[in-house]
Structure 1
Amino acid sequence: MAVTDLLVIITAVLLNRLPAIYFPGSLLSITPVCSLSIALIYASRDTSIWLTVAFTFDRFVAICCQKLKMKYCTEKVATVVIGTVCSLGCLINIPWYFMHEPIYIIDNIPWFCKLRENRYTSPIWAAFHWIDRIVTPSVPFFLIIFLNVLTVRNILAANGARRRLRVHTNGVAQSDTEMDNRRKSIILLFTISGSFILLWMMYVAYFFFERFVKDYKFKDFSDPKFIFLESANILQLLSCCTNTFIYAVTQTKFREQLKNLLQHPLL
Structure 2
Amino acid sequence: MSQLEIILGIKYIYYPLLTAVGVAVNVAAIVVLSRGKCALSKCITRYLVAMAAADLLVIIVDVLLNKILASHFPLSFLHNPIVCSLRRTLLRSATDNSVWSTVLFTFDRFVAICCPVLKVHYCTEKTATLVLWTVGVLGCLNNIPWYFTFESEYTIDGASWGCQTKSSFYTSPAWSAFAWFDVILTPCVPFFLILLLNAITVRHILIASRVRKGLRGGGAGADENDPEMESRRKSIILLLSISGTFILLWMLHVLLFLYSRITNDHESTGNEDPLFIAQQTGAMLLLLSCCTNTFIYVATQAKFREELKNGTQYLFKICLPVTVLRL
Candidates 116, 119, 129, aligned match of 1:79: 129
- Tell which has more relative contact order, 1 or 2 (C-alpha 8 A, sep 6+): 2
Report the aligned-residue RMSD. 2.3
Question: Which residue in 2 is equivalent to 1:143?
Answer: 193
Candidates 94, 97, 106, aligned match of 1:56: 106
- Answer yes or no: is 1:10 the counterpart of 2:37: no
Distance 1:133 1:140 in 2: 10
Q: Deviations over 1:88-115 (max 9, x none)?
A: 1111111111111111123443211111
Question: Which residue in 1 is equivalent to 2:139?
Answer: 89
* Matches for 1:69-218 after TM superposition, within 5 Å: 69-167=119-217, 172-177=219-224, 178=227, 179-218=229-268
Q: Deviations over 1:96-153 (max 9, x none)?
A: 1111111112344321111101011101110010001100111001111111111111
Counterpart residue identity of residue 221, structure 2: Q
Candidates 44, 50, 64, aligned match of 2:94: 44
* Matches for 1:230-249 after TM superposition, within 5 Å: 230-243=280-293, 245-246=295-296
Counterpart residue identity of residue 150, structure 1: I
SS of equivalent residue, structure 1 residue 105: strand
Query: Which is worse superposed, 123-132 or 108-117?
Result: 108-117
Distance 2:220 2:154 in 1: 74
Q: Deviations over 1:3-57 (max 9, x none)?
A: 0000000011011010233222111111111111110111000001101110111
Judging changes above 3 Å, is the alpha-carbon distance between structure 1 residues 153 and 84 closer, same or farther for their aligned structure 2 residues? same
Judging changes above 3 Å, is the alpha-carbon distance between structure 1 residues 219 and 176 closer, same or farther for their aligned structure 2 residues? closer
Counterpart residue identity of residue 215, structure 1: D
Q: Deviations over 1:149-180 (max 9, x none)?
A: 11111111121112112217xxx443532445
Distance 1:148 1:156 in 2: 12
Does the CA-based 8 Å contact 1:163-1:173 persist in structure 2?
no
Counterpart residue identity of residue 16, structure 1: N
Counterpart residue identity of residue 85, structure 1: V
SS of equivalent residue, structure 2 residue 68: helix
Q: Deviations over 1:186-233 (max 9, x none)?
A: 444433343222222211111122122223343433332221212111
Judging changes above 3 Å, is the alpha-carbon distance between structure 1 residues 78 and 254 closer, same or farther for their aligned structure 2 residues? farther
Per the normalisation by structure 2, the TM-score is 0.73
- Unaligned 5+ segments in structure 1 are none
Per the normalisation by structure 1, the TM-score is 0.88
